[in-house]
Amino acid sequence: MSTRGLAWLFALALPPLLCLLLPLRLALGLVDLEQAGLGAAAATGSLWRGRLHDVHLHDRALGAVDVRLSPWPLLTGTRELVLHGATLRASLLQGARRGIHGATGTLVLDGMAPGLSLVLDADDASLVFTGDACRNAAGRVGLELRPAAGGDPLVVLDGVAACDGRAATVTWAPAGAAAGPFAGLRVDARIEPDGAWQLRSVVPGADDARDAAALELAGFRPGPGGWSRIDKGALP
Using alpha carbons, select from 80, 116, 117 the residue that is nearest to residue 96. 80
Whole-number pLDDT of residue 37: 62
Whole-number pLDDT of residue 69: 80
What tens digit of pLDDT does each residue of 168-187 get? 999 999 887 777 888 888 99
Instruction: Please count the residues of the chain.
Output: 236
Instruction: Name the pLDDT band for 28 (thresholds 50, 70, 90).
Output: low
Mean pLDDT value of segment 88-116: 84
C-alpha 62: how far from chain center: 13
Mean pLDDT value of segment 22-40: 55
**Domain locations in the chain?**
1-95, 103-236
Q: How many Å apart are CA 31 and CA 45, to the nearest integer?
A: 16
Q: Indicate the pTM of the whole model.
A: 0.76
Using alpha carbons, select from 148, 173, 146, 171 the residue that is nearest to residue 161. 171
Whole-number pLDDT of residue 5: 47
